[in-house]
Chains A and B, each alone.
Chain A
Amino acid sequence: MSNKWKSKKRGVIAVMLLVKKAQKGNDKAFLKLFQQHEEDIYRMAYVYVKNKDDALDVVQEVAYQSFKKISTLKKPEYFKTWLMRITINCAINIVNKNKKVVHLNADYDKFIGTNDEDIPLSLSLQELIDMLTEDEKSIVLLRFYHNHSFKEIAELLNIPLGTAKSTLYRALHKLRKEYKEGDICGK
């Protein structure tokens, strides 16, 4: 028990050492840190931007911005949280840019097609992507994918605690409702 805790703590310290190096401009140290999270960043981004190319753009942009600004990160132990905040911002920026463009994306259509088999699931990736607004996505992802508390989410997104809670409940309500409708249709 105590050993496990110790090793976790030391893991954190190791991350802190890497952050310190990265803050001095060491790109190799930064890459080591970043690659531990790149899959998470990609998947998070995908939920917002809904296609591979834009999600990859988000990853590159997050890598660029985070290394550029790493010296402003005062508490290295919050590196991951900090990265996720940058990811959410970058993803939403791209979504907003794309809103002005009408999309006919073949990848996306195909994606819907394959996902039809998953209808019995009470919550599918597709619903998550289609049903929720950007704000709702951020909160659902932070709460359930990254296991953050409401307090942490409010902090991270710079919103009041009550808003974080009510947005999550609204999102869950939407998802449940969608499931019920889908269920009836299925029958």
Chain B
Amino acid sequence: MGNKIKQELEKIEIPKELHERSITGIKQAKSEQPKGKIKRPLAVAAILFGLAGATAGFAFPTAASNLPLIGNIFKFLDEESGFYDNYKEYSTELNMTEESNGVKVTVNDAIFDGESVSVTYSIESKQDLGEEPVIFQNLDIKGSDGMTGSSQLKKIGENKYVGIMTGSNFSKDDPESVKVDWGIDGISVLNEGHESEKEIKGNWDFAFKVNATDSLKQTIGKSVKQDGLKVNIDKISMTPISFVLYYSQEVPKKIRDKWHDVSVDLEVKDDRGNIYSGEGNGGSGRNSYDMNWSKTFEKLDPEATKLIVTPKVLFRNSENFGSAEYKKDGTVKEGKLPKKFKPGNKEFSLEDIVIELEK
């Protein structure tokens, strides 16, 4: 039956303008994307300045014999959001290189804002690694209870790549420094369909210590409650590169009885009209309802005196979208939707919480 339907649908001819129409739709959405990130003009000027010495490397990437000097990988990789704008200035230069199986991996800079470690790295290879190779090994922070992270890697010239790897630390205390291990045992080359085509095996091991940037912490303890659902902003930590909001949610029984998955995200703007983009660091809790979360946002505008935080609540009952629980022994337990829940979801905002920033 399935094959039959597939065969029948194959009979629908694909018009040649199909792809054009996809592009039109995407362009239309792109043109409506909100602009006006904080200090955009300044950021652009800084990029030009930072890359002035490296232009030759970019203009003739295939002719360059050395890894083009990229003054600020953070900024180079993040032309869109401005999230990493101030990272380079406050990061620690490491420049550690390991070579294995014809591939040189260099860890360039690292920075730790008290919550997340971000590491920039470059790869120089004797063979082509395709447009977007991927490293599947994550950063490991010693002594952390759990970690989340992300990575990106971009081609900058023939067989040359730069990237950022981040890892967020889950631990009860506020460490002044972290010891990071990054053991890479392979680099995957992806084909056009983004499937893994081959893997260059090797051994690139890095271990380093990064001190936390200066940070100013302020206890907030402000909350908003609606139908028994409580969201509390516990504290804010401001660093020269970012700020982190720590918050928690409490879910009453009547909501637990109806919804299997409850999560709260934060949207933040300030009294000067800046809207801050952020990255959730994940969360932990004694059960899946009463959770502590943290979310890192871009650098705070020094002129701002108030932050306006809008908690966004998402209720979800779903077989597919259930949560995954990371156990102490490293196994992952996938949440299944128990029978008593009816599939569906509901999204709404709570009342704003206003934070007065201490100066």
Residues of A whose CB lies within 8 Å of any CB of B are 6-8, 10-11, 13-15, 17-18, 20-21, 24-27, 30-32, 34-36, 38-39, 42-43, 46-47, 52, 56, 59-65, 67-68, 74-75, 78, 81, 121-125, 128, 140-141, 143-145, 147, 151-152, 154-155, 158, 160
Inter-chain CA distance A185–B96, complex, in Å, is 80
Chain A residues positioned under 8 Å from B343 (CB to CB): 154-155, 158
Chain A residues positioned under 8 Å from B321 (CB to CB): 74-75, 78
Q: Which residue of B lies closest to A22 (CB)?
A: B26
Q: Which of A32, A34, A52, A64 gathers the greatest number of chain B CB atoms within 10 Å?
A: A64
Inter-chain CA distance A17–B153, complex, in Å, is 10
A14 touching B190 by the CB < 8 A rule? yes
A60 touching B19 by the CB < 8 A rule? no
A21 touching B152 by the CB < 8 A rule? yes
B24 touching A60 by the CB < 8 A rule? yes
Q: Does B29 reach chain A (CB closer than 8 Å)?
A: yes
With contacts A42-B14, A56-B18 taken as known, whether A123 is within 8 angstroms of B26 at the C-beta atoms is no
B29 touching A56 by the CB < 8 A rule? no
Q: Which residue of B lies closest to A52 (CB)?
A: B15
Chain A binder among B3-11, B108-116, B172-180 = B3-11
Secondary structure type dominating chain A contacts: helix
B32 touching A68 by the CB < 8 A rule? yes
Per the CB 8 Å criterion, the residue count for chain B at the interface is 49
Q: Which residue of B lies closest to A28 (CB)?
A: B26
With contacts A10-B136, A21-B152, A56-B18 taken as known, whether A63 is within 8 angstroms of B25 at the C-beta atoms is yes
With contacts A25-B33, A128-B8, A155-B319 taken as known, whether A11 is within 8 angstroms of B26 at the C-beta atoms is no
Given contacts A62-B25, A145-B6, A155-B318, could you give 5 more A-B pairs where the C-beta distance is less than 8 Å?
A10-B134, A11-B196, A27-B30, A36-B193, A39-B14
A14 touching B195 by the CB < 8 A rule? yes
Chain A residues positioned under 8 Å from B11 (CB to CB): 125
Chain B residues positioned under 8 Å from A154 (CB to CB): 343
With contacts A7-B195, A7-B196, A42-B14 taken as known, whether A64 is within 8 angstroms of B26 at the C-beta atoms is yes
Inter-chain CA distance A21–B18, complex, in Å, is 24
Chain A residues positioned under 8 Å from B17 (CB to CB): 56
With contacts A63-B25, A68-B32 taken as known, whether A147 is within 8 angstroms of B18 at the C-beta atoms is no
Q: Which residue of A lies closest to B344 (CB)?
A: A158
Q: Does B150 reach chain A (CB closer than 8 Å)?
A: yes
Q: Does B215 reach chain A (CB closer than 8 Å)?
A: no
Which of chain B's residues 225-269 have a Cβ closer than 8 Å to chain A? none
15 contacts between A and B (CB under 8 A): A14-B196, A34-B22, A38-B18, A42-B12, A59-B22, A65-B29, A78-B320, A78-B321, A121-B4, A125-B8, A128-B5, A144-B6, A145-B5, A145-B9, A147-B2
Q: Among the listed B4, B14, B29, B320, which residue makes an inter-chain contact with A75, where contact means beta carbons less than 8 Å apart? A: B320
Q: Does B45 reach chain A (CB closer than 8 Å)?
A: no
A6 touching B196 by the CB < 8 A rule? yes
Chain B residues positioned under 8 Å from A140 (CB to CB): 5
Name the distance in Å between A183's Cβ and chain B's nearest Cβ.
16
Q: Does B358 reach chain A (CB closer than 8 Å)?
A: no
In the complex, the 5 A-B pairs of residues with the closest C-beta atoms, listed nearest first = A63-B25, A14-B194, A10-B196, A64-B25, A11-B195
- Chain B 263-291 per-residue mask, 1 if CB under 8 angstroms from chain A, else 0: 00000000000000000000000000000
Inter-chain CA distance A99–B178, complex, in Å, is 64
B5 touching A144 by the CB < 8 A rule? yes
Name the distance in Å between B235's Cβ and chain A's nearest Cβ.
25
Chain B residues positioned under 8 Å from A145 (CB to CB): 2, 5-6, 9
Chain A residues positioned under 8 Å from B19 (CB to CB): 35, 38
